[in-house]
Structure 1
Amino acid sequence: YNIHDGDQFHIDLKPDPPKPQYSNRTVDTTRHNKKSTDSNSTNSSTSSDDDKTNLSVEISPFSLDSLQKLAEEETINNNNINQTSIELDNLYPSTDKNVQIKMNDEDDDLLLAAAAAAACNNNLEFLSNGLEGRSRNPVSLLIDNLIHPDADLGARLQSKIKWRHDPSSSIDHICLGRGGIGGIWNQLTSKHLQTVSMADWMELPNYPFITFRQHLRMHRCRLSTNNEQIITDDENSKRATYDEIRSYYIHYVKRNRLINYFRNGCEVTSIERVCIDSSYYDDLTEEIRTPEALWEIRGFEEQTKNLFIIHAKYIVLATGISQEITRPLGIIGEQVSQSFTYTNLHDIEEIIVNKKRLRKNSKPLLVIGCGLTAIDVILLCQQYSIPILHVFRRAIDDHELVLNQLPANIYPEFERIKELIKQSSTITTSTSSDWFYQCCAQSEVISITEDGTVNIRNLRTQIIKDYNISCVVRLTGNEVKIPFLRSLTTKKCPGININPYTYECIDFENIYALGALAGDKLIRFLQGGALACAASLFKKYRQTSSINRLSFNVSSRTRTVQIID
């Protein structure tokens, strides 16, 4: 399922070519004569008293295509074959210890067929059971393990999934966005700062990042002149720059002809449950029926200020977590210092690079927090020699500190900041001919005055010191707030409460959440969430179809767009 599109993809699970193996582990598929011919008795069949020992067979999800073929062949040849022995290890060596099917010698063939059918019907709960990783959502872990096998161990193995586009199965949809294509990446335009994730983790289906880099290089060659030098240092880098990611997503939409699905520059102001049709009398059931309620999306176009209303049965929230809404400090002077307080990297880049309000001889910039965004701000300031006063509550050697979780060979710039923090904490300040940096670890800000005086307390010694600063960057974590969905409350939850196998919001029927809203903060997990969402939508379409097949003729009731002047 394409993240930016509603089109369905068939998934081929491609195993590596198995080596010939011979094993004594077999499954006896002999059918007993007592098996009932009634199809309704299939689920009630049990093993005999002599067959109480169950055989545990581990089945890799990559071998489900083979299992399905075996089930079909066994059904066809059932009348000609009295006894069959299937050596599962010869089909495919089992690799996934978490997916197990326990079968007995009476019903093994039925369960084998059921397992294959379950996979073909997108039984994601079955396939993703027992997986663990950096996401709390099992489907995201499943797809990530298939697309990026052993990624957390540093391996760069070939994907086990092949995406195939089926345009005949598309669902009518529209994508509303406040900015342009690419979302937040349009604000992160730095050509020097790099992503934390590996470049190939940022990929979308059927467009490798290395291929994009080759296209980008060819484009630069065509635009270059004799006086220009083509930058090729980052072409083989394992990580990508922010500017590369932004360009990649924009190019992906154009490459896959998805531009017509996007309506950019739209601000959504409210989402409410409404019923646009009146009740009616059903002659067949002799009852008064109420039409199914739809979601009403209201908003306006940013440039023209024209209002619009859209009615839809299903909504997918993929807004991310706003960087504008960070957790307040709850200190004295927080309100009076709002005029020189910033909460994201884009604003700091604006006042340093474009407006040039901060210079080498300016008062220090106060950076509060020690997460990834805070480190990016410090790296940016280091590049332009902007003085820094850095405050955070954790100890330098705290394992929860993000700098202590990143390998130095992959993140050398983060390692330099880590060493700088250690040096600054031992000699009070870190100064050089080019840059001033002072670190206050295990400290907290207790007050800020309107004239830029900040009071900082050391949590170990309780000593309070005063500093003069130019601006404040408050990077203390983001709050999940969706102002246009007024009934949503996420007081203590880091995301929206969702069904982990469908990504549907538990508190809102027919509303789905993807990405950071669902707890998947790394882009590598987005494809799993999109697949779970798409599988759920297709299942609902099948259930509501009178002919038990997908119907894609969307009426105006489920997609109504009205522009109000």
Structure 2
Amino acid sequence: MRIIQKENNIIYKDVVVIGNGPSGIAMSLLLSGKIPYLTVNNHPDEMLAARLKNIKSSCLLTQDLEYLSQGLEGRSQNPVSLLMDALLHPYADLGYEFEPLLEFRKNGKEIDHVVLGRGPPGGSWHRIDPDVLTLSLGSWMALPGIPFPSCTVNEKRAFARDVAAYYEKYVTQMELTAYFKTNTLVGSLVSTVDEPNIQSAVSEGSFRDMAERVKSPIEPVNENNDTPCFLANALNCLLSRNNRKNRLCRRSKNTYQESSFKLKVNKSEPIIIPKYERKRSRSCCGYQYDLYQISQSLDSFANSVPSYNQLNSYSNDEQAARWIIKTTDTDTGNIQTYSCKYVVLACGANDSPNRLEMFKNKSDPECLVHDLRSLEAKLDESLKVADALDPVLVVGAGLSAADAVMAVRQRNVPVVHIFRGKSAEFTKQLPENMYPEYHKVHQMMNDGGSTYPHYKAYPEHSLSEFDAESKTVKLISGRGEEVKLNISFAAILIGSKPNLSFLPSSWKLGIYKDKDIEAKTNPLNINPFTHEVIGREGLFALGPLTGDNFVRFLTGGAVAVCSELYKRMNLI
């Protein structure tokens, strides 16, 4: 059944948060009015303790975050993230479990906002294999206010399914449900400053249709040879029924009382709008119109084109909306447009798997997958009808590839593992006593598989040919040696990127302008103390997009953004 798309009226919000994972949840917590207050200023770090004793107010949003975060070091490149981590998890990297030095109270101003996400609150945690264990300790997966439940594996790490359930319950228990809009796909984000792009972002389909209908400019014709702003007048007269003020068109020096207008459509016979009598409603150029006749003649046109003036009418008088976000409900197909002053990008970094060059711009064959969950589903389905399978090809040398190797071997299916380096380096910062499974895979990769059943490693090899019909692949080594193999499935697990397809392609927002945005190698270029994207006023980001890849650092980015919003909105 084909879903008919219907576009609703524009909804204004002060802030729109794109992404409903832990980053978006943390942001919503602060925007709802639950803000951090210092309860203790005696920190184990003497230098930080000295700075905390000098502050006058216990509300962290009112502080000089740049001053407080001086000299802090850790696993984040963002100073406010390090500051919040030091206050929420003092000396956590040294193995200590001190009590937090702050608490979140419902003392702040509620900022009108909406959090947009494709699935339930928790983001990509709902799409991860539920049996995968977190890298972080379970206690570090918690957001402010509700501790993470005790873990079942050595009381240290948590299963992904427990993490997903925790975030979904967190939104309910912290009374944030009203702010979350699920099953929502963001199609476009455009700044109203870029006026030529507003139309395509707000009503792309409508403007395409209009372009086909109206090939030449609409030219008003009147007895005095005046050329008033007819298009703006027509739209603004329609809008004036709701008492919305026009801010765009300049007032004409001339006044005109009575005329007949001709609209040139597709250079064919003009459509005649009859003369009309004077009415109280007056246009931006001083012209008076019969609103009923205007609305009858331009009904379809006006309904399909939200004017810039209409968008601004949803914002406060002192500051117009800067951003237009167009979304689609993935269940119904309905299109919803939001206008807002501020946008927060919190969409994570795992939406788009990296692809080998030979698979780019192509649909994946049935035997090829890019995520662990899909691989396991295909294996389980195949093993129901076959006792044995050809080897599974795993490409990659990271943690995701290691998870795939373990999942395949647990099903007694052979694994062919290829990677470009001599070995993996993912165990350098993972203690063996806490991550024994990854150290086991690391040993297998170093050994090559000679002493491990159902495993064969091909270090310093790459995939040169892939035949989906015969399910054969050809590998090539750095020295040019070739190996041809039969496989049952292939899992290409070479990392992922954030899905920022809703941003204009001309925007180069990364630290390195010539590269795609990646959480580890090229995060968004932001102001480190406000998390505002450099060169895009009113656009903020936090979480993996800014290099914060661990949940324990996400609250810092939210605090940086909320502190700046409080100042700009005069809420402090």
Q: TM-score scaled to structure 1, two decimals?
A: 0.68
Distance in 1 (CA, whole Å) between partners of 2:372 and 2:40 is 41
Q: 1:519 is matched by which residue type in structure 2? A: G
Equivalent residues of 2:525, 2:546 under 8 A apart: yes
The aligned residue for residue 104 of structure 1 is none
Q: Deviations over 1:87-130 (max 9, x none)?
A: xxxxxxxxxxxxxxxxxxxxxxxxxxxxx899773211122223
Counterpart AA for 2:158: A
Aligned to 2:54: 67
Q: 1:240 pairs with 142, 153, 158, which one? A: 158
Q: For 1:332 and 1:272, locate their aligned partners in 2 and report how far apart those are by CA, in whole Å.
A: 30
Q: Note if 1:270 corresponds to 2:188.
A: yes
Deviation at 1:261, TM superposition (A): 1.0
Structure 1 position 142 matched with structure 2 position 83 = yes
Question: One-letter code of the match for 1:411?
Answer: Y
- Aligned match of 1:208: 147
Separation in 2, partners of 1:441, 1:334:
27
Mark the CA change 1:331 to 1:279 in structure 2 (over 3 Å): closer, same or farther: same
CA distance in 2, matches of 1:120, 1:165: 12
2:247 matches 1:279 = yes
Counterpart Cα distance in 2 of 1:367 and 1:123: 49
1:529 is matched with which residue: 543, 557, 563?
557
Alpha-carbon distance between aligned partners in 1 of 2:363 and 2:350, rounded to the nearest angstrom: 23
Greater mean deviation of Cα atoms: 354-363 or 480-489: 354-363
In structure 1, what is the Cα distance between the partners aligned to 2:140 and 2:182?
A: 26
User: Which residues of 2 match residues 413-492 of structure 1 at below 5 A?
Assistant: 413-425=437-449, 427=450, 430-431=452-453, 436-450=454-468, 451-459=470-478, 461-486=479-504, 487-489=506-508, 490=510, 491-492=514-515
Aligned residue in 1 for 2:267? none
> RMSD between aligned alpha carbons?
3.2
* 1:9 pairs with one of 35, 41, 49: 35
Q: Which residue of 2 aligns with 1:194?
A: 133
Instruction: Indicate whether 1:249 and 2:164 are aligned.
Output: no
Q: What is the CA–CA distance in structure 1 between the aligned matches of 2:385 and 2:164, rounded to whole Å?
A: 26
Note closer, same or farther for the CA distance 1:4–1:63 as it changes in structure 2 (3 Å cut). same
1:366 matched residue in structure 2? 393
Do 2:322 and 2:339's aligned partners in 1 also have CA atoms closer than 8 Å?
Answer: yes
Partner Cα distance (1:132, 1:17) in 2: 15
Q: Against the structure 1 CA distance between its residues 335 and 309, is the aligned structure 2 distance closer, same or farther, given a 3 Å change threshold?
A: closer
1-side partners of 2:28 and 2:385: how far apart?
38
8 Å CA contact 1:365, 1:469 repeated in 2: yes
Cα distance change on mapping 1:136 and 1:67 into 2, 3 Å:
closer
Measure the CA separation in 2 of the matches of 1:438 and 1:143: 45
**Residue number among 507, 523, 527 corresponding to 2:535 in the alignment:** 507
2:324 corresponds, among 296, 301, 306, to 296
Distance 1:375 1:417 in 2: 6
- Name the structure, 1 or 2, with higher relative contact order (CA <8 Å, separation 6+): 2
Paired residue secondary structure (2:54):
helix
Contact 1:498–1:504 (Cα < 8 Å) also in 2: yes
Equivalent position of 2:214 in the other structure: none
CA–CA distance in 1 between the matches of 2:369 and 2:567?
45
CA 1:146–1:355: 2 relative to 1, 3 Å: farther
- Residue identity in the other structure for 1:452: K
Distance 1:358 1:512, change over 3 A: farther
Closer, same or farther in 2 for the Cα pair 1:496/1:387, shift >3 Å?
same
Task: State the alpha-carbon separation in 1 of the partners of residues 562 and 335 from structure 2.
Answer: 29
Q: Distance in 2 between matches of 1:118 and 1:248?
A: 27
Aligned twin of 2:13: none
Aligned pairs for 1:150-161 within 5 A: 150-153=91-94, 155-161=95-101
State the partner residue of 2:259: none
Q: What is the match of residue 106 of structure 2?
A: 166
Alignment partner, residue 390 of structure 1:
417
How many residue pairs get aligned? The number is 421
Q: Is the 8 A contact 2:35 2:108 kept in 1?
A: no
Amino acid at match of 2:554: L
Distance in 2 of aligned mates of 1:68 and 1:336: 57
CA distance in 2, matches of 1:134, 1:252: 25
- Residue by residue over 1:503-561, the C-alpha shift from the partner in whole angstroms, topping out at 9 and shown as x without a partner, is 1111321111111111111212111111111111111111xxxxxx45xxxxxxxxxxx
Q: What's the secondary structure of 1:534's corresponding residue?
A: helix
Aligned-pair CA distance for 1:137: 1.3
Larger mean Cα displacement after TM superposition, 290-299 or 303-312: 290-299
Secondary structure at 1:361 match in 2: coil
Q: Distance in 2 between matches of 1:123 and 1:367?
A: 49
Unaligned runs of 5+ in 1: 19-57, 70-115, 214-231, 543-548, 551-565
1:387: Cα distance to partner? 2.1
SS of match in other structure, 1:126: helix
Change in 2 beyond 3 A, CA 1:167/1:262: farther
1:298-331 CA distances to partner (integer Å, 9 max, x unpaired)?
11111111111111111111111244331x3224
Shift in alpha-carbon separation, 1:127–1:419, aligned structure 2, 3 A: same
1:197 Cα deviation from its structure 2 partner: 0.9
8 A contact 1:337–1:448 mirrored in 2: no
What does the per-residue CA deviation read over 1:378-414, in whole Å, with 9 as the maximum and x for residues that have no partner? Answer: 2222332232111111222x6xx11333110011111
Whole-angstrom CA distance in 2 between matches of 1:359 and 1:152: 47
Compared CA separation, residues 17 and 373, structure 1 to 2 (3 A): closer
Q: How does 1:402-417 map to 2 (within 5 A)?
A: 402-417=426-441
Change (3 A) 1:430 1:336: farther
Cα-to-partner distance string for 1:128-165 (whole Å, 9 max, x where unaligned): 22323222211112212222223333x13214432222
Tell me the equivalent position of 1:183: 123
Q: How far apart, in 1, do the equivalents of 2:463 and 2:248 lie?
A: 63
